[in-house]
Amino acid sequence: MAQMTMIQAITNAMATELKNDEDVLVFGEDIGVNGGVFRATEGLQEEFGEDRVFDTPLAESAIVSLGLGLTLENYRPVVEIQFFGFLFEAMDGIAGQIARHRIRSGASKKTPIVVRAPFGGGVNTPELHADSLEGLMAQTPGLKVVIPSNPIDAKGLLISAIRSEDPVIFLEHMKLYRSFREDVPEEEYEVEIGKASVKREGEDVTLIAYGAMVQEAIKAADQLAEEDIKAEVIDLRTVSPVDYETLVESVKKTNRAVVIQEAQRQAGIAANVVSELSERAILHLEAPILRVTAPDTVYPFTQAESVWLPNKDDIVERAKETLEF
Amino acid sequence: MAAQDKFSPVDVLSEVEEKFEMLQILNEKGEVVNEDLVPDLSDDELVELMTRMVWTRVLDERSTALNRQGRLGFFAPTAGQEASQIASHYALSEGDYVLPGYRDVPQLIWHGLPLTKAFLFSRGHYKGNQFPEGVNALSPQIIIGAQYVQTAGVALGLKKRGKENVAITYTGDGGTSQGDFYEGINFAGAYDVPAIFVIQNNNYAISTPRELQSKAKTLAQKAVAAGIPGIQVDGMDPLAVYVATKDARDRAVKGEGPTLIEALTYRYGPHTMAGDDPTRYRTSDEDSDWEKKDPLVRFRTYLEGKDLWTKEQEEEVIEKAKEEIKAAIKEADATEKQTVTGLMELMYDEMPSNLQEQYEYYKGKESK
pLDDT score, position B117? 98
- pLDDT tens digits along B193-236: 999 999 999 999 999 999 999 999 999 999 999 999 999 999 99
Q: Which residue of B has its CA nearest to A55?
A: B191
Measured distance CA(A263)–CA(A211) in Å, rounded: 10
pLDDT score, position B6? 77
Residue A50: count other Cβ atoms within 10 Å of its Cβ. Answer: 11
Instruction: State whether B346 and A93 contact (CB < 8 Å).
Output: no
Q: Which residues contact B220 (CB under 8 A, 6 or more apart)?
A: B20, B199, B230, B231, B232, B260, B261, B262
**What is the residue type of A99?**
A
Contacts A108 to B, Cβ<8 Å: 129-131
Instruction: State whether B183 and A166 contact (CB < 8 Å).
Output: no
pLDDT tens for chain B, 368 residues long, are 455 567 899 999 999 999 999 999 999 999 999 999 999 999 999 999 999 999 999 999 999 999 999 999 999 999 999 999 999 999 999 999 999 999 999 999 999 999 999 999 999 999 999 999 999 999 999 999 999 999 999 999 999 999 999 999 999 999 999 999 999 999 999 999 999 999 999 999 999 999 999 999 999 999 999 999 999 999 999 999 999 999 999 999 999 999 999 999 999 999 999 888 888 999 999 999 999 999 999 999 999 999 999 999 999 999 999 999 999 999 999 999 999 999 999 999 999 999 999 999 999 999 98
Vertex A17 angle, CA A16 and A18, to 5°:
95
- At CB < 8 Å, which residues of chain B contact A? 97, 126-131, 136, 138-139, 143, 146, 149-158, 160-161, 163, 167, 179-180, 183-184, 186-187, 190, 343, 345-350, 352-355
Asked if the A2-184 domain carries CATH number 3.40.50.970, the reply is: yes
pTM: 0.97
Secondary element (H or E) of residue B277: none
Secondary element (H or E) of residue A288: none
Instruction: State whether A104 and B131 contact (CB < 8 Å).
Output: no
- For residue B337, the 8-state DSSP code is P
ipTM here: 0.97
Contacts A88 to B, Cβ<8 Å: none
Distances in Å between the Cα of B170 and the Cα atoms of A214, B173, B185, B217, B303 are 48, 10, 12, 20, 27
Provide the residue ranges of all domains of chain A, joining segments of one domain with +.
Answer: 2-184, 197-324
- At CB < 8 Å, which residues of chain A contact B? 51, 56-57, 59, 61-62, 65-70, 72-75, 92-93, 96-97, 102-108, 110, 141-142, 144, 164-166, 194, 240-245
Instruction: State whether B157 and A73 contact (CB < 8 Å).
Output: yes
- pLDDT tens digits along A24-60: 999 999 999 999 999 999 999 999 999 999 999 999 9
Contacts B150 to A, Cβ<8 Å: 65-66, 68-69, 97
Which of B107, B60, B117 is CA-nearest to residue B84? B107
Contacts A249 to B, Cβ<8 Å: none
Measured distance CA(B115)–CA(B118) in Å, rounded: 5
pLDDT exceeding 90 applies to what percent of chain A? 100
Secondary element (H or E) of residue B313: helix B311-333
Q: How near does any CA of chain A get to the CA of B140, in Å?
A: 10
Measured distance CA(B258)–CA(A246) in Å, rounded: 52
In angstroms and rounded to an integer, the radius of gyration of the C-alpha atoms of chain B is 22
| A212 pLDDT higher than 90 | yes
- Residues B62 and B325: beta-carbon distance below 8 Å: yes
pLDDT score, position B20? 96
Distances in Å between the Cα of B22 and the Cα atoms of A73, A233, B264, B267, B281 are 35, 69, 8, 19, 25
Contacts A165 to B, Cβ<8 Å: 349-350
A129 is catalytic: yes
B275 beta partners: none
Backbone phi, psi, residue B18, to 5°: -60, -25
> Could you say which of A57, A70, A92 has the minimum Cβ distance to residue B186?
A57
pLDDT score, position B2? 54
Backbone phi, psi, residue B10, to 5°: -65, -40
> Could you say which of A93, A108, A240 has the minimum Cβ distance to residue B149?
A93
Q: How near does any CA of chain B get to the CA of A224, in Å?
A: 33
Domains annotated on chain B, with CATH:
15-30+39-335 (3.40.50.970), 338-368 (no CATH)
Measured distance CA(A98)–CA(A105) in Å, rounded: 11
Torsion of CA B182, B184, B187, B192, to 10 degrees: -110
Beta strands in A178-294 (DSSP E): 182-184, 197-200, 205-209, 231-235, 238-240, 257-264, 290-294
For the beta sheet containing A231-235, the strands, ordered from the edge strand earlier in sequence to the opposite edge, are A197-200, A231-235, A205-209, A257-264, A290-294
- For residue B132, the 8-state DSSP code is P
Within this chain, domains A2-184 and A197-324 share the same CATH topology: yes
pLDDT exceeding 70 applies to what percent of chain A? 100
Measured distance CA(A271)–CA(A38) in Å, rounded: 32
pLDDT score, position B7? 83
CATH of A197-324, one of 3.40.50.300, 3.30.499.10, 3.40.50.920, 3.40.50.2300: 3.40.50.920
- pLDDT tens digits along A244-258: 999 999 999 999 999
